[in-house]
């Protein structure tokens, strides 16, 4: 299993990571080696094995719909890189 430069660039874009040329070359090598190692899983027959997404029996997390105190706006915004009028401010999303 070997990843091409193009594949690495595609994954990096999906993951919203800007990578340098040097990083792209290094990750292509390293990710290929890791994928080769994890390929060992393919040798197991698992057609009838259910997947595990949680080790505990899932139960409903619903609670009664009653108002209760939460973070006030100033604390919720205290870490914002940019905010205006009690809202997070971001660069334009639409052209």
Q: Which residues bind other proteins (CB under 8 A)?
A: 3, 8, 11-19, 23, 27, 30-31, 33-35, 37-42, 44, 46, 49-56, 59, 61, 63, 71, 75-76, 78-82, 88, 90-93
Q: Which is nearer to other proteins, 50 or 67 (CB)?
A: 50
- Residue 47 CB, shortest distance to other proteins, in Å, is 9
Report the alpha-carbon distance of residue 4 to residue 82 in Å, rounded.
38
Least distance from other proteins to the Cβ atom of residue 64, Å: 11
Q: How far is CA 42 from CA 36, 37, 46, 47, in A?
A: 11, 11, 9, 11
Instruction: Using the minimum distance from each CB to other proteins, give the nearer residue, 25 or 34.
Output: 34
Q: Which token pair is 34?
A: 């890791």
Separation of alpha carbons 34 and 41, rounded Å: 12
Smallest distance from the beta carbon of 66 to other proteins, in angstroms?
12
88 SS3 class: strand
């Amino acid at each position: 299993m070997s990843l091409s430069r193009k594949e690495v660039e595609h994954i990096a874009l999906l993951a919203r990571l800007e990578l340098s040329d040097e990083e792209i070359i290094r990750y292509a090598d390293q990710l290929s080696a890791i994928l080769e190692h994890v390929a060992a899983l393919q040798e197991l027959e698992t057609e009838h094995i259910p997947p595990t997404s949680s080790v505990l029996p899932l139960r409903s997390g619903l609670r009664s719909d009653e108002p209760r105190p939460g973070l006030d706006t100033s604390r919720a915004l205290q870490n914002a890189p940019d905010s205006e009028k009690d809202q997070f401010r971001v660069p334009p999303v639409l052209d």
